[in-house]
């Protein structure tokens, strides 16, 4: 939220790039909530031992933990966050398409196929949640939000609330679909959400091309700052913040640089 103003998150969600990042977070958390709620009923026909069943739940989280730092490095150094989001959405679609599997694929479910699907989903899930946070912050700065700790906090709050919302919607709707149509058709919830996300990201990338000389927010360019070659490769948070924010005497400032 900007100092002294209200409605920072509402104002941020009016920015198409930030709204798209928020939808990416919701889609990702819906997928993980779906797995947490319905994976065990889906595996009951295999009559797994408790240890093996527990390991099936570890696959997704373990792959996510291994891949998230790599996705962050790619976002910081090589790829635009929305490109990472698009690639991750494809992986989640493949993962959920095989996890059921989707009824029209004509493939029988097997323990090996489900395990492979969980690995693919874990990779895609890690890319979505990492890229969405990075993307939301950079879109906020590009669209005029100050590059300081207040904006960083606003984006963090937005990410957390959208993730919690998706984690509520995913298991709730998936449970209803599972009761009426079975696991295979229930996975269409996540698949359709990510198809929509993929289409929206590709449309955004096709229609939004920033000129090389217009990568800084307008406020920074008015100050005569030199535009970097690629705003997408800037550190996540640079600049100054007011360490006495919220007090009567705003006199002390500190410099913060997060590499």
pTM score, whole prediction:
0.76
DSSP string, 239-258: EEEETTTTSS----EEEEEE
pLDDT in tens, 187-215: 999 999 999 999 999 999 998 765 433 44
Domain coordinates of the chain in residue numbers? 7-207
pLDDT given for residue 227 in this prediction: 41
Q: What is residue 166's predicted lDDT score, i.e. its pLDDT?
A: 92
Residues of the chain with pLDDT under 70: 1-7, 209-259
pLDDT the model gives residue 178: 92
pLDDT at residue 47 in the model: 87
The 10s digit of each residue's pLDDT in 123-158 is 999 999 999 999 998 998 888 888 888 888 888 889
User: Which pLDDT does position 234 carry in this prediction?
Assistant: 47
Q: Which of 113, 131, 121 is nearest to 170 (CA)?
A: 121
Query: What rounded mean pLDDT belongs to the chain?
Result: 80
Shortest CA distance to 74 belongs to which of 87, 65, 59, 93?
A: 87
* pLDDT for res 87: 94
Q: Can you tell me the distance from the alpha carbon of 166 to that of 197, in angstroms, rounded to the nearest whole number?
A: 14
Assign domain 7-207 to a CATH class: mainly alpha
| Closest CA relative to residue 213, chosen from 226, 223, 204, 203 | 226
pLDDT of residue 239: 45
């Amino acid at each position: 939220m900007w100092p002294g103003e209200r409605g920072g998150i509402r104002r941020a969600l009016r920015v198409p790039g930030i709204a798209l990042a928020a939808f990416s977070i919701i889609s990702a958390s819906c997928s993980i909530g779906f797995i947490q709620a319905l994976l065990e009923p889906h595996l009951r026909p295999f009559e797994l031992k408790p240890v093996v069943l527990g390991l099936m739940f570890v696959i997704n989280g373990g792959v996510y933990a291994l891949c998230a730092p790599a996705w962050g490095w790619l976002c910081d150094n090589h790829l635009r966050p929305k490109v990472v989001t698009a690639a991750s959405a494809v992986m989640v679609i493949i993962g959920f398409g095989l996890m059921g599997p989707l009824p029209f694929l004509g493939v029988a479910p097997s323990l090996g196929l489900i395990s492979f699907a969980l690995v693919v989903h874990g990779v895609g899930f890690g890319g979505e949640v990492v890229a969405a946070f990075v993307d939301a912050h950079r879109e906020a700065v590009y669209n005029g939000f100050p590059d300081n700790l207040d904006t960083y906090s606003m984006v963090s709050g937005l990410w957390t609330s959208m993730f919690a919302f998706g984690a509520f919607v995913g298991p709730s709707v998936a449970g209803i679909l599972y009761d009426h149509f079975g696991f295979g058709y229930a996975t269409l919830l996540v698949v359709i959400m990510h198809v929509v996300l993929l289409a929206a990201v590709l449309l955004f990338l096709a229609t939004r091309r920033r000129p090389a000389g217009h990568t800084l927010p307008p406020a920074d360019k008015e100050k005569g700052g030199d535009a970097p070659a690629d705003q997408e490769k800037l550190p996540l948070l640079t600049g100054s913040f007011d360490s006495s924010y919220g007090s009567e005497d705003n006199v002390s400032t500190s410099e913060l640089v997060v590499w």
